[in-house]
Amino acid sequence: MHSREKYEKATVLAEAGRCEEALACIMEHLQTSPQDTEALNDAGAILHCLGRSSQAIDYLLEARQFGGENPQIVMNLIEVYIGAGKPEQAEALFDQAQDAGILTPELLNRTARLFLDQGNKAGAMEVLLRSMDNWPGQEILAHMLTVIKSKRPRIAFFCGADGSTFLDPVRNYLKNRFEIRIFTGRTEQELYDLMRWSDISWFEWCTDLAVIGSNGPKVCETVIRLHRYEAYTELPSRVNWRNVDVLITVGNSFVQQALLNTVGPISPPTSIVTIPNGVDLEAMRFVNRPRGKNIAFIGNLRMVKNPGLLLQCMHRLHSLDSEYRLFVAGVFQDGALEQYVHHIAKELGLTEAVLFEGWQGDISHWLADKHYIVSSSAIESQGMGILQGMACGLKPVIHNFPGACEIYPEEFLFNTPAQFCEQILSGAYEPERYRQFVEQSYSQRQQLAKINELVIKLERRIESQQQVPIAAGQDRFASVS
């Protein structure tokens, strides 16, 4: 009997429920046709029916290796992973299953139940949220999510004086997964009361609130997220880092080093984690635009933004091609700087070439007719305006601030006005590439996933602490080193 006839016999036997005989025929066929994707897939399915899950996984992974992302192989792998008690591996295939149109709420809900049976509330939560997002109106899931949330850590947010622009996406993401509260009080006692209510206290900006919170009793896990300017102030030196469990930095190593130069080593006990800020790609409309002559600058104007250098760059560019225009989205935060900038712009003959358009509520709309996004900053953590511009398809032209090469390709950096002009006037212009750079490295989705991973690690740490007997008078969440 030829090999192919063996395989055809195997399918007949499998349909008749004679799985052991069917498997034997398939194995004979695979000896002469080891890369037969269909046979490998069927072998995996039969092995799963026989309760031999580990072998089934091996055959299905081999079928996937030779057969690509065949929907039937993906579905069989998910089923085998669930049957083998491996919900993480099943979940890792859900994106492919959804793209192939084979993901179902029943599949998701079984995976969530398996996570719960294994005590993994975080895994169950993510799968159930996905199920609710794709198939709204599942009231029983809404109840399950509420119950799971009630058994997870409580998070309190404390936002410093620089506002909640960066915190809002994080808060909105985590509120679907945890019970949260936001500090709105005015007294230190109110701050400490909220910290005691929480299991995790998150301080946005390393400012006065973080100083106060870190110097109080240790009653919870404490997270401080430092952006940039705080590292160059005296505030970090006033923080009691022994009471801080995690420091999140959002930018490059120079900002982190500036902090450590001030406060000295903080790890241990404080873990230092870098999680870059992410761009909301849905809010940044991409336009595959042609090369043009409109240059955008995004950011409120203060000395660190180095507008004097930007005007010198524009003066040189204007002498080469007077049709280029610089559009500034932002307001002056320094009266003396504002006076200087307007004065020197006039002296350089740039009053019609540099246009100050104030704060823009819809930055994507404002960027629609621009072609370059420029930064002249002396220091940045990342430069969110640059990333937003790139996400819309603008070519970046970036002054080489400390750490810029850690974030952006060197080809986009300049040191002198002459190099600035070279970046503008020559070289490739590839809007799709600029968008892809942000998608691959700095999307908000990636940022929030990393933050979720961090909070889950803290959740596990809290759970391990709760399992340790607590002496009378000791706080629930005493610091661990």
Q: 66 pLDDT band (50/70/90 cuts)?
A: confident
Among 220-224, 418-422, 426-430, 439-443, the least confident range: 426-430
| C-alpha distance from residue 54 to each of 24, 35, 36, 424 (Å) | 17, 19, 20, 57
pLDDT digits (tens, 9 = 90+) for 444-472: 999 999 999 999 999 999 999 877 554 44
Mean pLDDT, rounded, of the chain: 92
Q: What is the DSSP string of 428-475?
A: ---HHHHHHHHHHH-BHHHHHHHHHHHHHHHHHHHHHHHTSPPPTT--
Alpha-carbon distance of 331 to 30, in angstroms, equals: 70
Q: What is the pLDDT of residue 468?
A: 55
Cross-strand pairs, 224: 203, 247
All residues at 6 or more sequence positions from 274 whose CB lies less than 8 Å from its CB, including other chains: 248, 249, 250, 251, 256
pLDDT digits (tens, 9 = 90+) for 255-302: 999 999 999 999 889 999 999 999 999 999 999 999 999 999 999 999
Using the predicted structure, report yes or no on whether residue 59 has a pLDDT greater than 70: yes
Q: What backbone torsions phi and psi does residue 278 show, to the nearest 5 degrees? A: -115, 155
Nearest partner of 354 among 374, 333, 375, 324, judged by Cα: 324
Q: 34-40 — which CB contacts under 8 Å span 24+ positions?
A: 35/66, 36/7, 37/63, 37/66, 37/67, 37/70, 37/73, 38/63, 38/67, 39/7, 39/10, 40/66, 40/67
Q: In the predicted model, what is the mean pLDDT of residues 10-31?
A: 84
Q: What is the pLDDT of residue 414?
A: 98
Q: In the predicted model, what is the mean pLDDT of residues 413-439?
A: 96
Angle at 177 between CA 173 and CA 180, to 5 degrees: 80
Using the predicted structure, report yes or no on whether residue 182 has a pLDDT greater than 50: yes
Q: What is the DSSP string of 6-30?
A: HHHHHHHHHHTT-HHHHHHHHHHHH
What pTM was computed for the model? 0.87
362 and 337 Cβ atoms separated by less than 8 Å: no
Alpha-carbon distance of 418 to 309, in angstroms, equals: 12
Q: What is the pLDDT of residue 337?
A: 96
Question: Using N-to-C axis directions, what is the helix angle for 139-150 and 105-117, rounded to 10°?
Answer: 20
159 and 180 Cβ atoms separated by less than 8 Å: no
Task: For residue 331, give the amino acid letter.
Answer: V
All residues at 6 or more sequence positions from 332 whose CB lies less than 8 Å from its CB, including other chains: 300, 301, 302, 338, 341
The H or E element that residue 49 is part of is helix 37-49
How would you classify residue 202: left for phi > 0, otherwise alpha for psi between -120 and 50, otherwise beta? beta
Q: What is the pLDDT of residue 8?
A: 77
pLDDT digits (tens, 9 = 90+) for 104-117: 999 999 999 999 99
pLDDT digits (tens, 9 = 90+) for 120-171: 999 999 999 999 999 998 889 999 999 999 999 999 999 987 789 899 999 9
Using the predicted structure, report yes or no on whether residue 57 has a pLDDT greater than 50: yes
pLDDT digits (tens, 9 = 90+) for 294-352: 999 999 999 999 999 999 999 999 999 999 999 999 999 999 999 999 999 999 999 99
Q: What is the pLDDT of residue 2?
A: 61
Alpha-carbon distance of 474 to 472, in angstroms, equals: 6
Task: For residue 95, give the amino acid letter.
Answer: D
What are the structural domains of the chain?
3-103 (1.25.40.10), 152-278+457-466 (3.40.50.2000), 294-441 (3.40.50.2000)
Alpha-carbon distance of 68 to 96, in angstroms, equals: 11
CA 240 to chain centre: 28
Q: What is the pLDDT of residue 252?
A: 86
Q: In the predicted model, what is the mean pLDDT of residues 391-407?
A: 97
Q: What is the DSSP string of 54-85?
A: HHHHHHHHHHHHHH-S-HHHHHHHHHHHHHTT
Alpha-carbon distance of 210 to 240, in angstroms, equals: 9
Total H helices, total E strands in the chain: 23, 12
Q: In the predicted model, what is the mean pLDDT of residues 227-247?
A: 94
